[in-house]
C-alpha cells in the first residue's frame, strides 16, 4: 500500500474527528434545530458512553489531566503498545476506512453512534480504551514460565506474541460492545413494521452501528480462535456471555434505559463493607459459570457490582487471567489476574459515577446514570427517593435530574462511593503487591493512583 494511500485514510479519520469535535453536530443551535425522533428506544442496557459524555460538568485542573496522560504514556513505552484501536494496523484496513467515510454522512443526524465514535477517536481519560495496554502490563509484570519457546516471546517488550494478540482481541470486543450501544429503535412495539422513510439517516446510522460492531466482534473471534488455546477461548466466550447478560439485568424504562431496583427493607442495618475479594456472585469458585444473582437486586453495593462486572469487569478480568494462562502461570496466579482486572474496572467505574457529584449544582439539561453508585447508596439511605425514580418508568427523560442531584448531594451517597472506589483500588493494589517489583508493576500502580483524579 502506497504512503499516499495511508495519508488519505488518516485524513478521512481526522476529518470525522474534526466534524464531531467542532462541526454542526455539537453546536447548540444546530442541536436545538434537529427534530427529535418520537419515542426513541435506546437498545443499550448500559449508558456508559452516553453518561460519560453528558456528566462532565466542569473542567478538571490541568495537572490532573496530565497525571493520567503521563501514567498511560509511560506505560505504553514499557510494552510498546498504542492504546487505541485506531493504530497504524487498523488505519491500513479498508473496512475501517469505509466506516470512517460513512460516519461523515451521519454528522448532523444526532445519531448516538457519533458520540461513540468521538469517544473512540479522542482517547480521553474517561473512556478507558487502554484495556489492551492493561492486559500487556499485567502480562509483563507477572512474567512467563521458562518453558515458553523463544519464538513465542517479544523480547523487546517483555511479553508474548499471543498476549499481544489477546490484548487486541480485548479491545476489539470492548469496542464492538460500545459501538453496538449506538443502536436505537425508531418505533415503539405497537407501531412495529410501519414505514420509516422519514428517518433514513437514523436507519443508516443503525446499519453502520450494527455492521461495524459485528465486523469488530467477528474479527475478535477469528483472532481468538487463531491462538489455538481451548481454555482461553472458553474463558473469553464466558466474558461475551456476561456482556450479553448485562443487557437484561434489573428494571428498564420503555426505552430500555436501566433503572435501579426497588431498595430492599433490611431487618438490621449493617454498615460493614462487603468482602473485597468475594462479592458473592460465585465467580471465584468457577468464573466460567454464570454469576449468581439471587438477593442482589435492591442491595446497593451488590447490584452496582453485578451490573458493572457483567458489563465491563468480567471482560477485563478474564482477559488478564487469559494472559497469564498463555504465559503458563499457575492457576492461583491466574485467578489473581482475574481479580486484578475486575477490581481495577470497578474502581474506575466508581470514579466515573462520582464525577457528576463533585460539583454542588448540576447544569440544566445534564443527565447522569440512574444506576450509578451514589444513586443506589442514597436509595438505601432514603427509600422515598425511589418515588422520584418511578417517574422514569415510562422514560428517564421524565425525571428531574437537577432535583435528584440536589437530594443525593445532601446524603451519604457520594462519600460511600469514594469509599467504594478506594476499596476496589486497594484490592487491585493488593494483587500487584504479590508480584515482583518491575517497571510494569509500577506503571499499573501509577494508573490506579491517577484514577483518583478522574
For strands 258-259 and 41-42, give the pairing. Answer: unpaired
Report yes or no: 250 and 258 within 8 Å, Cβ to Cβ. yes
Q: What is the DSSP track for 360-387?
A: SSPPTT----TTSHHHHHHHHH-TTHHH
Give the residue-averaged pLDDT of 188-201. 60
What does the mean pLDDT of the chain come to? 77
* Average of per-residue pLDDT across 1-28: 46
d(CA 116, CA 181): 8
3-state SS class at 1: coil
Per the model's pLDDT, the better-predicted residue between 197 and 213 turns out to be 213
Buried (b) or exposed (e) across 212-225, using 16+ Cβ within 10 A? Answer: bbebbbebbbeebe
Mean pLDDT of 384-405: 87
What sign does the CA torsion over 267, 268, 273, 278 have?
negative
Q: pLDDT tens digits for 277-324?
A: 456 788 888 899 999 888 888 899 999 999 999 999 999 999 999 999
Q: What Å distances lie between residue 263 and 14, 58, 251, CA to CA? A: 47, 31, 12
Q: What is the DSSP string of 155-182?
A: TTTTEEHHHHHHHHHHHHHHHHHHHHTT
Give the three cell numbers for residue 274.
462487603
Please say whether the beta carbons of 446 and 426 come within 8 A.
Answer: no
Nearest of 325, 398, 404, 369 to residue 54 by alpha carbon: 369
Neighbouring-strand partners of residue 153: 160
239-252 per-position pLDDT tens digit: 999 999 998 888 88
CA dist., res. 390 & res. 410, Å (int): 20
- At 22 the pLDDT is 42
pLDDT band, residue 40 (cuts 50/70/90): very low
Q: What angle do CA 432, 437, 441 make, to 5 degrees?
A: 45
Is residue 59 pLDDT above 50, yes or no? Answer: no
Return the pLDDT at 336: 95
Residue 217 DSSP class: H
**The pLDDT value given to residue 143:** 93
- Greater confidence, 208 or 415? 415
* 361 CB-contact burial (10 Å; exposed 0-12 / middle 13-18 / buried 19+): exposed
**Whole-prediction pTM:** 0.78
Identify the three-state secondary structure at position 6: helix
Check pLDDT > 80 for residue 219: yes
DSSP 313: I
pLDDT, tens only, 169-182: 998 898 888 888 87
- Cβ neighbours of 341 (radius 10 Å): 29
Q: Among 20-24, 35-39, 370-374, which is the least confidently predicted range?
A: 35-39
C-alpha cell at 182: 449506538
Amino acid at each position: 500500500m502506497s504512503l499516499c494511500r495511508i495519508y488519505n485514510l488518516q485524513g478521512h479519520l481526522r476529518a470525522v474527528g474534526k466534524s464531531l469535535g467542532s462541526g454542526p453536530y455539537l453546536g447548540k443551535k444546530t442541536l436545538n434545530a434537529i427534530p427529535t425522533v418520537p419515542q426513541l428506544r435506546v437498545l443499550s442496557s448500559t449508558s456508559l458512553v452516553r453518561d460519560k459524555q453528558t456528566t462532565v460538568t466542569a473542567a478538571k485542573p490541568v495537572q490532573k489531566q496530565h497525571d493520567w496522560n503521563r501514567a498511560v504514556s509511560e506505560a505504553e513505552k514499557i510494552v510498546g503498545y498504542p492504546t487505541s484501536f485506531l493504530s497504524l494496523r487498523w488505519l491500513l484496513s479498508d473496512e475501517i476506512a469505509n466506516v470512517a467515510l460513512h460516519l461523515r454522512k451521519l454528522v448532523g443526524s444526532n445519531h448516538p453512534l457519533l458520540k461513540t465514535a468521538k469517544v473512540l477517536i479522542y482517547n480521553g481519560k474517561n473512556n478507558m480504551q487502554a484495556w489492551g495496554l492493561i492486559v500487556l502490563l499485567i502480562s509483563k509484570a507477572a512474567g512467563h514460565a521458562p518453558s515458553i519457546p523463544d519464538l513465542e516471546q517479544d523480547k523487546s517488550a517483555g511479553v508474548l506474541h499471543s498476549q499481544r494478540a489477546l490484548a487486541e482481541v480485548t479491545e476489539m470486543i470492548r469496542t464492538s460492545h460500545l459501538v453496538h450501544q449506538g443502536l436505537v429503535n425508531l418505533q415503539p412495539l405497537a407501531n412495529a413494521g410501519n414505514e420509516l422513510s422519514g428517518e433514513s439517516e437514523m436507519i443508516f446510522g443503525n446499519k453502520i452501528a450494527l455492521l461495524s460492531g459485528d465486523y469488530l466482534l467477528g474479527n475478535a473471534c477469528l483472532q481468538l480462535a487463531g491462538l489455538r488455546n481451548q481454555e482461553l477461548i472458553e474463558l473469553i466466550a464466558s466474558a461475551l456471555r456476561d456482556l450479553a447478560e448485562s443487557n437484561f439485568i434489573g428494571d428498564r424504562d420503555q426505552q430500555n434505559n436501566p433503572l435501579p431496583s426497588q431498595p430492599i427493607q433490611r431487618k438490621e442495618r449493617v454498615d460493614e463493607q462487603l468482602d473485597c475479594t468475594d462479592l458473592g456472585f460465585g465467580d471465584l469458585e468457577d468464573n466460567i459459570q454464570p454469576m449468581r444473582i439471587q438477593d442482589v437486586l435492591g442491595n446497593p453495593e451488590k447490584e452496582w457490582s453485578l451490573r458493572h462486572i457483567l458489563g465491563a469487569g468480567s471482560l477485563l478480568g478474564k482477559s488478564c487471567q487469559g494472559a497469564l494462562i498463555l504465559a503458563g502461570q499457575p492457576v492461583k496466579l491466574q485467578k489473581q489476574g482475574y481479580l486484578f482486572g475486575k477490581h481495577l474496572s470497578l474502581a474506575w467505574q466508581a470514579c466515573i459515577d462520582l464525577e457528576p457529584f463533585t460539583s454542588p449544582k448540576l447544569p440544566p439539561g445534564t443527565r447522569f446514570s440512574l444506576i450509578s453508585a451514589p444513586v443506589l447508596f442514597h436509595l438505601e439511605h432514603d427509600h422515598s427517593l425511589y418515588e422520584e425514580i418511578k417517574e422514569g418508568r415510562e422514560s428517564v427523560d421524565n425525571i428531574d435530574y437537577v432535583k435528584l442531584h440536589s437530594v443525593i448531594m445532601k446524603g451519604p451517597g457520594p462519600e460511600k462511593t469514594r469509599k467504594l472506589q478506594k476499596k476496589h483500588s486497594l484490592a487491585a493494589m493488593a494483587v500487584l503487591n504479590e508480584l515482583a517489583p518491575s517497571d510494569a508493576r509500577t506503571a499499573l500502580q501509577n494508573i490506579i493512583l491517577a484514577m483518583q483524579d478522574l
